[in-house]
Structure 1
Amino acid sequence: MSSRISRTARTRTGALAASAAALLSAGLLHPAPAAAATPPAKTPAHATAAVLDLDAPGSTPVVRGADRAYDTASIVKVDILATLLLQAQDEGRRLSARERDLAEPMIRRSDNAAANALWRQIGRAPGLAAANKRLGLTATTGGTGTKWGLTRTTAGDQIRLLRAVFDSGGSAHKGSGGLDAKSRAYVRTLMGRVVPEQTWGVSAIGGPGSGKALKNGWLQRNTTGLWDVNSVGQVTVAGHRYLVAVLSDGSASMSDGVRLVERAARSAVA
């Protein structure tokens, strides 16, 4: 009995092996995959924060971290609006109803369709560059084509942009100078009315009634799956108005990026 069982087992084993070989040669059965390679080490997330105390005499921006270029994601929408307002000033007019209908959701809700329309209207990257030259930005490069979210900027340049909006401003003349008082007030108003679910980032500084006005940006990169998370704006702490810009990249998730930005903002102001 045992010998017959042994012969039967050998026969079945041989038949299974032959069947497997036939399926393998026909491409219907794939060989077991090789052991997965060890995944590369994770790249650490990076953040740069810049702060300017508007109420300190002779104050200059303080930058924590390397003031290198980052992708803007949606914080560029403040720059798009500033460009639109400068162009309207040069034409001797205020924004049209249509322009306001696009500008307001672009800032308050970070509406991308509105940003697409206004990016085209301002002349895309060349229009942005012309405005930034007037506003004193020196390290910001507009995204190619329609990719406004891939504009590159530094925390230092974002402080210059915020200063053009929140400081007292200089001269404003057709074809030269910065934003006039009405334009600055308009941008401030929209940044002060961002929808509640987007009031993270620099808004983590200070407590209730701290006069927060901000714009955030977030973008997951297709190539790495990692997140760019940024936050810029003004907060008031202990009677001082601070302009704060925090740029980051390399976070594993958006929530990680938000925590990184908020930690950097608190540390920079403290």
Structure 2
Amino acid sequence: MQLARRLPALLLGLTALITTPGVAAASPASGSIDLPPGMTASWTVLDRTTGARSGSGEHQQYRSASVVKLFIALDYLESHGPGYSIPAGDLALLEPMLRSSDDKAASTLWVRDGWEQIVVRTAHRVGLSDTEPPARRGMWGHTAISAADIVRTYQYILTEATPKYRDFIMSNLRQSTKCGSDKFDQSFGIPGALPRPRAVKQGWSGFGDSPAGNEECTEPGRAETPDTPEVREAVAAVDRDSRREARADAADIDLTSRAMHTTGTVGANDEKIVVVLPLEPTTLSWSDSATRITDLTRAVSTAVSTD
């Protein structure tokens, strides 16, 4: 697939240049920055105050990893009326899923609420042009997304969703934990590059649990899904279905490279939406990838302010 290789001329005025080894700062003549060797990335940044927008490869499809949990939460909330009170059992799923990217919670809600139909409904409701369900319905992390569609999802949550549900999603994203429920350090990208206040939903795939360089996360995130029969049954159902043969009409997305996506908003009033979807070589360590992606996020976020 063709993935974006260069960031546009918006970055000419950057004062905080990427310093990671292998990242080449552009000369004034070229007005661009080369991505690190082996990295491919698409991104979109929207300043909601000024309307300025910048991006590269905005409609390129990627596997979602845990970014799809935004769809799972939004679909759950919007399937109920605005007066609905979330029961304690469902809060115990939604909160760790949004804050600590809990996979067991996601699998439970995914199975209970219709599997891939969650993606179908969300794409229709929000107006997403690049989003597709996973080829194997159990593989919710293989949902196809794009940077443009995730920016649109945040716009919908912030301006069109029921205020009660908007506040629920965004308040939980503002409480994003450093360590995920699986002990993966999710402080790369936006949390490492941009100041608070911020609301963050991360996604990663291909690094395994607690990879080398991730030693600060020896304990899971503060929010963790209770181990109940419902959760165990849903996780088993997802695992069984994930082993089935993929449909022939699956989206053409890279399922091999390591993904470490960073998405969210920055500012007291969510003034800026930032979505960066990178893919990294399987030979690169977690710590090197985290540094590269954090530097890239800092650069592209600054770029929109120079538009």
Q: TM-score w.r.t. structure 1 length?
A: 0.71
The amino acid across from 1:155 in the alignment is A
Residue equivalent to 1:136: 127
Runs of 4+ in 1 over 4 A off after TM superposition: 221-225
Residue equivalent to 1:36: none
For residue 189 of structure 1, the aligned residue among 171, 193, 200 is 171
Deviation at 1:93, TM superposition (A): 2.3
Residue equivalent to 2:194: 206
List per-residue Cα deviations over 1:231-257 (Å, max 9, x = no partner). 1001129x9821001111133333333
Residue equivalent to 1:242: 272
Using a 3 Å threshold, how does the CA distance of structure 1 residues 106 and 224 change in structure 2: closer, same or farther?
A: closer
Give 5+ residue unaligned stretches, structure 2. Answer: 1-36, 180-185, 209-253, 303-307
Which has the larger share of helix? 1
The answer on 1:264 being equivalent to 2:246 is no
For residue 71 of structure 1, the aligned residue among 63, 66, 90 is 63
Q: Please give the root-mean-square deviation of Cα atoms over the aligned residues, in Å.
A: 2.5
Q: TM-score w.r.t. structure 2 length?
A: 0.63
List per-residue Cα deviations over 1:187-206 (Å, max 9, x = no partner). 00110111123233112333
The amino acid across from 1:203 in the alignment is P
The answer on 1:180 being equivalent to 2:162 is yes
* Greater shift in the superposed pair: 216-225 or 147-156: 216-225
Deviation at 1:269, TM superposition (A): 1.6
Deviation at 1:125, TM superposition (A): 1.2
Using a 3 Å threshold, how does the CA distance of structure 1 residues 72 and 240 change in structure 2: closer, same or farther?
A: closer
For residue 54 of structure 1, the aligned residue among 40, 43, 48 is 48
* Greater shift in the superposed pair: 104-113 or 223-232: 223-232
For residue 231 of structure 1, the aligned residue among 241, 259, 262 is 262
Conserved 8 A contact 1:73-1:150: yes
Deviation at 1:60, TM superposition (A): 5.3
List per-residue Cα deviations over 1:72-128 (Å, max 9, x = no partner). 1111111110111111238x6232222111011111111111110011122111222
Q: Partners in 1 of 2:118 and 2:194 — Cα distance?
A: 36
Q: Partners in 2 of 1:249 and 1:71 — Cα distance?
A: 10
Using a 3 Å threshold, how does the CA distance of structure 1 residues 225 and 94 change in structure 2: closer, same or farther?
A: same
For residue 94 of structure 2, the aligned residue among 82, 88, 103 is 103
Conserved 8 A contact 1:202-1:214: yes
Q: Partners in 2 of 1:224 and 1:122 — Cα distance?
A: 25
Deviation at 1:225, TM superposition (A): 6.5
Q: Partners in 1 of 2:176 and 2:60 — Cα distance?
A: 27
Using a 3 Å threshold, how does the CA distance of structure 1 residues 108 and 224 change in structure 2: closer, same or farther?
A: closer
Query: What SS does structure 1 have at the residue aligned with 2:79?
Result: helix
Q: Partners in 2 of 1:269 and 1:81 — Cα distance?
A: 26
Q: Partners in 1 of 2:275 and 2:58 — Cα distance?
A: 13
The amino acid across from 1:256 in the alignment is D
Conserved 8 A contact 1:77-1:107: yes
Q: Name the larger-Rg structure.
A: 1
Q: Partners in 1 of 2:122 and 2:49 — Cα distance?
A: 26
Q: Partners in 2 of 1:142 and 1:60 — Cα distance?
A: 30
The amino acid across from 1:146 in the alignment is G
Deviation at 1:228, TM superposition (A): 0.8
Residue equivalent to 1:152: 144
Conserved 8 A contact 1:139-1:154: yes
The amino acid across from 2:188 in the alignment is W
Q: Partners in 2 of 1:253 and 1:63 — Cα distance?
A: 27
Q: Partners in 2 of 1:69 and 1:225 — Cα distance?
A: 14
List per-residue Cα deviations over 1:170-216 (Å, max 9, x = no partner). 3xxxxxxxx20000000001101111232331123333xx2111011
Query: What SS does structure 1 have at the residue aligned with 2:131?
Result: coil
The answer on 1:118 being equivalent to 2:109 is yes
Give me the identity figure in percent. 25
For residue 201 of structure 2, the aligned residue among 215, 225, 236 is 215
